A = this chain, B = another copy of it.
């Protein structure tokens, strides 16, 4: 006999398959699609989005989920978690009109394509209508979803369930002053570091080789993944067993591809790590964007910018780039990759200034959503904030308001999850070290398995079975806390800059 749970699972798998096909349309659009394909691609994405939406909001779903809930009352089981997620998704999606969902998806696809060209041409005017359209649609979505305090809340909730704009303001409030003080202290000693060695000639082929090598060493599974080139890197999956990362190579800036691929590999290993029993279900994959980002930042920064790691990884880097690094010792290299300097580009930012980039985006999103500023004013407001927080002004909109793909693709309310991830990464690593011991000797020996296994067993395997804050509370034995993160920054950069 077919139970309600069986039917719910079967429906969920079908919707998942449609979503995965839509993700491939997106991956292809970013990687290999010829320009001519853009208009038809937007129609294709819109069609799949519409069908998935129709299936997810079918009239019988409400009763079906309720019936399945009575069959699987234990939320700690896979089945119980599936019902919980189905209920949350259903209640959320049901509030958004089909036409709006379809149009948003289409606008996101067209916007992304317009952004690629506009950014290349530094032509904000051509991008502006797409940006305005995406914000307008998101306002409509937020109104449809409803909110108590801020129009920002229902948008943030999509990416970080249960978190509000007020929470994010509190979070930034608790680290903002410390961060600004730390940046100021370090700035006095700017002369102590240089990243000139990272700006030498790094041929793409060598970067591609090393990116592949390092991702494989830390544990990203290439039998279930691959690396491709894009304008703005991301990680995307079409299955637990097909999780792809993307990167970009800059000839005279080694960190872009190097830390970019370690970052995306962190996302990728999290996705590859879901229990196989979750395959094809909406409880596979990361618990939230914030938890996801904790893993990308952990592998990028807490491993990739760790001194011990380079005892292991530096010789291969020197072998790959003998002309650029043959005569550079590992300590000079370590100082270069940890140089702190206010810069324009978020994804290239150091660990200390990074969260100020996020703060600017978070504030811009609130201003645009609330209608406090228009898209015409936005580039100047963006530039003013960079001047105020980081002391620098973007010379072009391409390096200013157009630097990120997110808004072009309708991802609004997404940025705060990056800072949440930063804070969590330090707390999680400290917890892991408590269990498996000092990771530095392991990193120095190229042995990442104890850490990966710990993350796998404690976080990855659970997919998105649990609410993010419940999962984190269980892993950390307590709530999210910004203090370990600030302590980490002060210790690491205090030592580097003799503070």
Which residues of A (4-40) have their CB < 8 Å from a CB of B?
A: 13-14, 17-18, 20-22, 24-25, 28, 32-37, 39-40
**Do A280 and B43 touch across chains, with their CB atoms under 8 A apart?**
yes
For A, the interface residue count at a CB cutoff of 8 angstroms equals 40
**Residue contact B225 to A18, C-beta cutoff 8 Å:** no
* A252 at interface, CB cutoff 8 A: no
A:314-373 near B, CB below 8 Å: none
The stretch from A175-183, A216-224, A375-383 touching chain B is A216-224
Is B13 touching A43 in the complex (CB atoms < 8 A)?
A: yes
- Is A17 a contact of B48 with CB atoms below 8 Å? yes
The A interface, classified by DSSP as helix, strand, loop or mixed, is helix
How long is the Cα–Cα vector from A13 to B226 in the complex, in angstroms? 33
- Alpha-carbon distance between A280 and B37 when the two chains are bound, in angstroms: 12
Q: Provide the A225-256 mask, 1 if CB < 8 A to any CB of B, else 0.
A: 11010000000001111101000000000000
CB distance from A28 to the nearest CB of B (A): 6
A40→B224 contact, CB < 8 A: no
Q: Could you say which of A13, A21, A241 has the most chain B C-beta atoms within 10 Å of its C-beta? A: A21
Asked if A47 and B32 sit within 8 Å, CB to CB, the answer is no
- Distance, CA A17 to CA B44, complexed state (A): 5
Within the complex, what minimum Cβ distance (angstroms) separates A228 from chain B? 7
- Cβ of A51 < 8 Å from any Cβ of B? yes
A385 interfacial by beta-carbon distance below 8 Å = no
B228 touches A37 (CB 8 A): no
Nearest Cβ distance between residue A103 and chain B, in whole angstroms? Answer: 15
Asked whether, in the complex, the Cβ of A47 is within 8 Å of the Cβ of B14, the reply is yes
Asked if A279 lies at the interface with its beta carbon under 8 angstroms from chain B, I say yes
Please pick, from B43, B46, B48, B238, the residue contacting A37 in the complex, using a CB distance under 8 A: B238
Residue of B nearest to A32 (CB): B226
Complex Cα distance, B327 from A101, in Å, reads: 64
Complex CA gap A440/B242 in Å reads: 50
Q: Which residues of B are found within 8 Å of A119, using beta-carbon distances? A: none
14 contacts across the A-B interface (CB closer than 8 A): A17-B47, A18-B51, A21-B48, A32-B32, A32-B226, A34-B222, A34-B225, A34-B241, A35-B223, A36-B221, A36-B241, A40-B238, A40-B240, A40-B279
